[in-house]
Amino acid sequence: MNKHDSEAILGLLMNHGYELTKNRNEADVFLINTCSVRKHAEDKVYSMFGELRKLKKKNKHDSVVGVMGCMAQKDKNEIFRRSPNVDFVCGTHNFHKIPEIIESVIKEKTKIAITDMGKQVFISPTLSSRENKSLAWVSIMKGCDNFCSYCIVPYVRGREVSRPPENIIQEVEELAHAGYKEITLLGQNVNSYGKGLSKKIDFSDLLELVHKIKGIERIQFVTSHPKDISLKLIDAVANLEKVSRYLHFPLQSGSDKILRLMNRGYTLSHYIEIVNRLRERIPGIRLGTDIIVGFPKEDEEDFEQTYQVMKDVEFNHAYMFKYSPREGTSAFKLKDDVPEQVKKDRLNKIINLQSSMGKKKEN
């Protein structure tokens, strides 16, 4: 999703006369697109500031440094405090203003912060500078209404807004005409696509519309929330041959106690029921997942339930993380009571399990 945003902003700037350079020493503008999902991602941004300070000092001309995205939305004052070389921060709802923000910084010689969360704006896809010439990302919605207790995304990306289907179809048709064969439909939770639109439509309906477009040979989508997946959507994936037989389907934990604390909105039995339905209707489907270990109040029994589910389901792919407290989320109020070494040990255990299952599937 961040990569897609970066491509849109790059295209927007190129439309305003900027060119991309591979030589940092000659750059007039440095942009850092940020993520706040985990603390590690934020730490990487702060570590870049030292390098940018040297580059800015080395450049003979005055260069502009901007920080954009989720971290800018959340921590604008901290960013300015920790890096005086940053000239502007731009939050998640204001990417379309970046060219004018840069011009204002240059003319007014002042720092600028724009982080209001008004109307969600989809930058015109015709402006995107796409890195890949055969696969394209297509945004179908922005924001999230789920408020999982550990997740900062709804607070920095805003509430769910679905993009009108006619705009999506027009973009995919243009991509097909330009020679693109594969598209990935993007949303924080694509399963809830359609809410708030005047036309009654859901994600399975949208998949059918996109499937009809000539020239497109493969359709993928991310991400699917287990609480919102429907039998209608499962049947659509089964019946539409262009739709990928890979589904990213985040579990997060195998313990019902932890799922409740996470505010995930489903039980383990519900999740397994959907997995069984998917494999029944779509033979050979590949499943990916996300797992968090070390969530507050996770004891050894909770972790073992997660371990056992991973063993039983045999995911094809898994993103696995230690719990990272995010200030501003409801889980931040819980005591982070799982010792760091225990978190590391649990993470290593599931990584090793997933690795061994991956080798088993290869054989």
Q: Which three-class secondary structure state does DSSP give residue 17?
A: coil
20 is in which domain, residue-wise?
A: 2-114
pLDDT digits 0-9 by tens, 16-39: 999 999 888 888 899 999 998 888
Q: Give the domain-ending residue among 212, 244, 276.
A: 244
**Is the pLDDT confidence value at 59 over 70?**
no
* 119 domain residue, yes or no: no
User: Rounded to two decimals, what is the model's pTM?
Assistant: 0.90
Contact assessment for residue 221 and residue 182, using Cβ atoms and an 8 Å cutoff: no
> What percent of the chain stands above pLDDT 70?
97
The confidence score (pLDDT) of residue 226 equals 94
Q: What is the DSSP string of 227-255?
A: TT--HHHHHHHHH-TTB-SEEE---B-S-
State how many domains the chain has. 3
Q: Which three-class secondary structure state does DSSP give residue 184?
A: strand
Residues 259 and 234 in one domain: no
Please tell me the distance from the alpha carbon of residue 116 to that of residue 254, in angstroms, as a whole number. 38
For residue 77, give every residue at least 6 positions away whose Cβ sits within 8 Å of its Cβ, in sequence order, or none: none
pLDDT digits 0-9 by tens, 168-227: 999 999 999 999 999 999 999 999 999 889 989 999 999 999 999 999 999 999 989 999
Please tell me the distance from the alpha carbon of residue 145 to that of residue 138, in angstroms, as a whole number. 20
Extract the tokens encoding 231.
């039998």
Residues 225 and 284 in one domain: no
What is the CATH number for 78?
Answer: 3.40.50.12160
Question: 291-306 burial string, b = 16+ CB within 10 Å, else e?
Answer: bbbbbbebeeebbebb
Angle CA(136)–CA(140)–CA(144) in degrees, nearest 5?
Answer: 125
Residues 105 and 178 in one domain: no
Residues 260 and 240 in one domain: no
